């Protein structure tokens, strides 16, 4: 996980603090979690994150070839859109009957929004912006919030947050 704070201001006494103008989190989701989520949406496919996008093979006929998908964000879901079909040595545009795969995401707490997605070798990097960090999210200790987000990224589900409540 990577945390990038921008426009950080230091506050002195009586209680010293570093107050960022905005915070961006990058969380890596393992390929296993992504494969499980795609399998739940489309049991006939096996998807693997790849630097070019996603490589998808048919579960019953993995030797036929693969489909390349590009990941995008629409509302509260990751949408995997087909861009190329590789059969043997041939690469073609996919037929229109091959529909995009939609992976719904859990609702993020107020003040956090998913604003980027980047496939890599057997992982998916999600970029989450925390625009309201100095406000409502500042009441949650940073280590607790990072632990919560890491758990959410590892499973692509929302874990409980214990006794603290998210804004």
Across 1-156, the runs of DSSP E, i.e. the strands, are 2-6, 9-11, 17-19, 22-30, 45-50, 53-58, 65-74, 77-87, 90-92, 101-104, 112-120, 123-130
- Using 50, 70 and 90 to split pLDDT, how confident is the model at 166? very low
Per-residue pLDDT of 61-87, as tens digits, reads 888 889 999 999 987 788 999 999 988
Per-residue pLDDT of 38-54, as tens digits, reads 899 899 999 889 888 88
pLDDT of residue 92: 92
Instruction: Specify the pTM.
Output: 0.69
Each residue of 34-66: b (16+ CB within 10 Å) or e? Answer: bbebbeeebeebbbbbbeebbbbbeeeeeeebb
């Amino acid at each position: 996980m990577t945390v990038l704070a921008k426009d950080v201001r230091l506050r002195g006494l009586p209680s010293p603090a570093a107050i960022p103008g905005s915070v961006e989190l990058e969380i890596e989701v393992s390929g296993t979690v992504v494969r499980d989520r795609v399998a739940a949406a489309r049991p006939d496919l096996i998807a693997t994150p790849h630097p070019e996008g996603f490589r998808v093979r048919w579960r019953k006929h993995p030797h036929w070839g693969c489909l390349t998908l590009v990941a995008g964000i629409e509302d509260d879901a990751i949408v995997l859109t087909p861009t190329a079909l590789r059969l043997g040595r041939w690469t073609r545009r996919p037929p229109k009957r091959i529909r995009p795969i939609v992976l719904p995401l859990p609702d993020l707490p107020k003040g956090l929004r998913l604003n980027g997605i980047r496939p890599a070798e057997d992982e998916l990097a999600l970029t989450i912006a925390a625009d309201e960090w100095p406000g409502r999210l500042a009441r949650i200790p940073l280590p607790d919030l990072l632990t919560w987000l890491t758990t959410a990224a590892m499973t692509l589900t929302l874990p409980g947050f214990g006794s603290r409540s998210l804004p």
